[in-house]
Amino acid sequence: MDKSVKQQVRELLRKRDYEPLLDLCERDRRFWQEVRFRLFDMDENLRWTAIEMAAKLMQHWWSSGQEEKVRIYIRTLFWSMSDESGGIGWSAPQTIAEIIVNIPEIIDPYGSMMIAHSIEEPPLMKGGLWGIGRLGRRIAESVNFFEDKILAVFQSEDSEILGIAAWAMGEAGFQPARPLLEELRFRTENVQIYINGKFLQKKVGRWAEESIGKIEKSRGIS
Amino acid sequence: MSIPGQEKQWDKEEKEHRKYNDVRIFDDNQLNNYTEDELKNYKCKHDISQLEQLESGPWPSFVSDLKREAVHRHKVGQDNLMIPADIVDDLLGIVELSYKERETHWKHGGIVGVLGYGGGIVGRYNDQQAKFPNIAHFHTIRVAQPGAKFYTTDYLRAFSDIAEYRGSGLTNLHGSTGDMVILGSFSEQLEPLFFDLTHDLGVDLGGSGGNLRTPSDCIGKARCEFACYDTMALCYDLTMTYQDELHRPAFPYKFKFKFDGCPNCCIASIARADMSYIGTWKDDIRINQDAVQEYAAGKIPPDGGGFAGRDWGKFDIQAEVINLCPTQCMKWDGKKISINNAECNRCMHCIDVMPEALRVGKDQGLSILFGAKAPILEGAQMSCMTIPFMYANAPYTSIKGVVTKVFDWWTEEGKNRERVGETIQRVSLKKFCEVLGIPPMPQMVTAPRANPYVFFKEEEVPGGFARDIDDYRSRHPR
């Protein structure tokens, strides 16, 4: 890969300067390829901005009538979550969720498929939970459908999974999770979650508490 | 490795790896910890009577090897291993079960990996976890092989220690792509294993999934007089150049580079690589007529002395070389060999038989072929000759230019799980040549007397493709 392509993509992602990058991706597919590579980046800033960039490009394609191209890419992401030949799409659930946020009409069927492909795969679980949180109330129906599997996530010993799950349940307004959130109220491990372009760090207990509030609010109790 | 003044970052990196004694996990007593009597008395905790029957055959048996490893691990003890000491026993047990039931209990694949990489580890699980808990996970880790598979003993011993400590102790040397494969690790050991490999051995994971697979090369100019380019240098350079493509899957499916220094194709790139680089030459085969005479007189053994152990009869140049030339481009008058080089198709037979008399030409480079693969969507196919000749000189700008065109085009055009050879087959070689920006050339053949690269566009044919059959017949009666 051309060094200047790599460099330009990294710089634009770091600046969150999506418009010129969108233009470059449209003009030369090597830029788009480089954005896809950054979905695996260990640098969280780059990784999350790459996820957002991928979603914006899909939205652009979709609105310009290239719907099949978008579907092909989403199918590629799903394949990377079920690849039997040793591949893993670390950011695939998050990218799918972000694409759905940008193209809401594709939530059916991709929203529930995103949950189905990630919720039982330990390496993809955090991404899937983040996707639920990102889609929030929009994906509530699918969350209800996968109730048992989603509640089983709370058996995890990984505090990051618990923190993201706690946040996601609040965003989706998922009432059945409430007793499990109550159990997390006093957990003190810090968990960082990427929300609206920022990394927010709170204790697991705090994430759980806020979620309980959101769930209650969604029921009109408080 | 690189042109002075144009060194890449990786050329400047410290290449000296740690010595075995710096990183070893087991001491000598642990490594040589059982007697042949103990092996004889080994009793697997599962019934493996059918497997044991295999040991009675005339061939070395994998069952015997597995038993050795089982005994060894028992004696090393669980306190010194990160993976169950009984893993091999359970492996034998599940294989025996499959022999009895005649169906496999391995599930195909599983999603595992190390952070930052989208490939390199293939998840393996089975559906008998309650019965065989020690192989609940049996992941395989692909480790990039050294160029041309040159090892130091330090490296091999350190690799084996890691495979024992964080794996089942079983390895594949080598997987079909060339990787060194550590078998039988558990998910929680993958990150530490990756750390050990990269920090202690200075080695990287190989490729898996929809990405560039670990490029592999023949021994090339390191030890082979037939090599027409430096396979190790090119393989290394492209491996380092395409790190993202190797570790971060973004292709429709796997893509393999393989590098053969000459048309003998020792790495079998023509049968296995999506993009095969095969050394060749432009000028004439070099002939040493004095050495030809010595071969004829029996003073130099043919085939490098390969035909030994029995009387194969007197070497007959006419019968064993000239008559076997596939294009009949050679002559032997009893004193001298002559070659019509324009007709030579680089089969290498004459050079292989009389290496001291015949040598590859001096004007050397490589051919690039595309599309070999095993059966997946379509049947197996060999690579097609596409670029008959390119020079292979660092920094390989022209070669990388071709690679970039292919990657860009195939990533866009290829369907999910479609190898580049299948994409070419689907859209036609004509289209592929247009993508590469190369004209059809007479050397482009898929097989003798089959040339799918020559096409006519309608606008190039006078009168187009439509014709009046009556008009034609008026000039060409039946």
**Which of A16, A47, A65 marks a domain boundary?**
A65
Rounded mean pLDDT of A190-203?
Answer: 96
Closest residue in A to B245 (Cα) is A37
Q: Which stretches of A54-188 are assigned E, i.e. beta strand?
A: none
CA B342 to chain centroid: 31
Same domain, A94 and A3: no
**Average pLDDT of every residue of chain A:** 95
Q: Map out the domains of chain B with their CATH numbers.
A: 15-206 (3.30.70.2500), 216-281+364-459 (3.30.413.10), 286-359 (3.30.70.20)
Q: Is the ipTM of this complex over 0.95?
A: no
What is residue B236's predicted lDDT score, i.e. its pLDDT? Answer: 96
CB contact under 8 A, B209 and A87: yes
Same domain, A89 and A37: no
CA end-to-end span of chain B? 66
- Please tell me the distance from the alpha carbon of residue B82 to that of residue A12, in angstroms, as a whole number: 43
All residues of chain B having their beta carbon less than 8 Å from the beta carbon of residue A54 are: none
- Please tell me the distance from the alpha carbon of residue A221 to that of residue A213, in angstroms, as a whole number: 9
- Chain segment A113-161, per-residue pLDDT in tens: 999 999 999 999 999 999 999 999 999 999 999 999 999 999 999 999 9
Same domain, A41 and A78: no
What is residue B365's predicted lDDT score, i.e. its pLDDT? Answer: 98
Same domain, A121 and A111: yes
All residues of chain B having their beta carbon less than 8 Å from the beta carbon of residue A40 are: 116-118, 247-248
Q: Across the interface, which of B110, B211, B244 has its CB nearest the CB of A1?
A: B244
Q: What's the structural domain count of chain A?
A: 2
Same domain, A55 and A114: no
| Cβ–Cβ contact B6 with A under 8 A | no
Q: Residue B462 corresponds to which amino acid?
A: P
Same domain, A57 and A153: no
- In our burial notation (b when 16+ CB lie closer than 10 A, e otherwise), range A150-164 reads bbebbeeeebbbbbb
Q: Across the interface, which of A2, A39, A83 has its CB nearest the CB of B109?
A: A83
**pLDDT over 90 for what percent of chain A?**
93
All residues of chain B having their beta carbon less than 8 Å from the beta carbon of residue A29 are: 408, 411-412
CB contact under 8 A, B211 and A87: yes
Across the A:B interface, residue pairs with CB atoms under 8 Å apart total: 93
Q: Across the interface, which of A39, A87, A124 has its CB nearest the CB of B210?
A: A87
* Domain housing A1: 1-65
Least confident of A2-6, A42-46, B305-309: A2-6
Structural contact between residues B214 and B144, judged by C-beta atoms closer than 8 angstroms: yes
* Beta strand B180-185 pairing with B330-332: unpaired
- Please tell me the distance from the alpha carbon of residue B205 to that of residue B181, in angstroms, as a whole number: 10
Tell the residue number behind the tokens 């390969």, with chain if given: B306
Please enumerate, as own/partner, the contacts of B432-440 that have beta carbons within 8 Å and a separation of 24 or more.
B432/B370, B432/B386, B433/B386, B435/B405, B435/B406, B435/B409, B436/B386, B436/B387, B436/B402, B436/B405, B436/B406, B437/B405, B438/B386, B438/B387
Q: Which residues of chain B have pLDDT under 50?
A: 1
What is residue B477's predicted lDDT score, i.e. its pLDDT? Answer: 82
CB contact under 8 A, A1 and B241: yes
CATH classification of the domain holding A123:
1.25.10
- Please tell me the distance from the alpha carbon of residue A218 to that of residue A174, in angstroms, as a whole number: 9
What is residue A222's predicted lDDT score, i.e. its pLDDT? Answer: 43
Same domain, A103 and A191: yes
Residue B286: strand pairing partners: B359
All residues of chain A having their beta carbon less than 8 Å from the beta carbon of residue B172 are: none
| Helix, strand or coil, per DSSP, at residue B216 | strand
Q: Across the interface, which of B116, B254, B416 has its CB nearest the CB of A76?
A: B416
Same domain, A89 and A149: yes
Tokens of B63: 């069952």
Centre a 10 Å sphere on the Cβ of residue B38 and count the other Cβ atoms it contains. Answer: 13
Q: Residue A38 corresponds to which amino acid?
A: R
**Which of A65, A84, A107 marks a domain boundary?**
A65
Same domain, A5 and A94: no
Same domain, A170 and A189: yes
Tokens of B72: 């060894």
Same domain, A27 and A4: yes
Structural contact between residues A39 and A89, judged by C-beta atoms closer than 8 angstroms: yes
- Please tell me the distance from the alpha carbon of residue B131 to that of residue B95, in angstroms, as a whole number: 13
| Cβ–Cβ contact B147 with A under 8 A | no
Residue A1 has pLDDT above 60, yes or no: no
CB contact under 8 A, A86 and B210: no
All residues of chain B having their beta carbon less than 8 Å from the beta carbon of residue A39 are: 248
Residue A2 has pLDDT above 70, yes or no: no
Q: Which of B123, B120, B197, B251 is nearest to A124 (CA)?
A: B123
Residue A13 has pLDDT above 90, yes or no: yes
Tell the residue number behind the tokens 């293939």, with chain if given: B122
Confidence bin at A3 (pLDDT 50/70/90):
low
Q: Across the interface, which of B208, B241, B408 has its CB nearest the CB of A87?
A: B208
**Which of A33, A65, A97 marks a domain boundary?**
A65
- Chain segment A75-123, per-residue pLDDT in tens: 999 999 998 888 999 999 999 999 999 999 999 999 999 999 999 999 9
Residue B287 burial by CB count (10 A; 0-12/13-18/19+): exposed, middle or buried? middle
CB contact under 8 A, A88 and B210: no
Structural contact between residues B381 and B424, judged by C-beta atoms closer than 8 angstroms: no
Same domain, A42 and A117: no
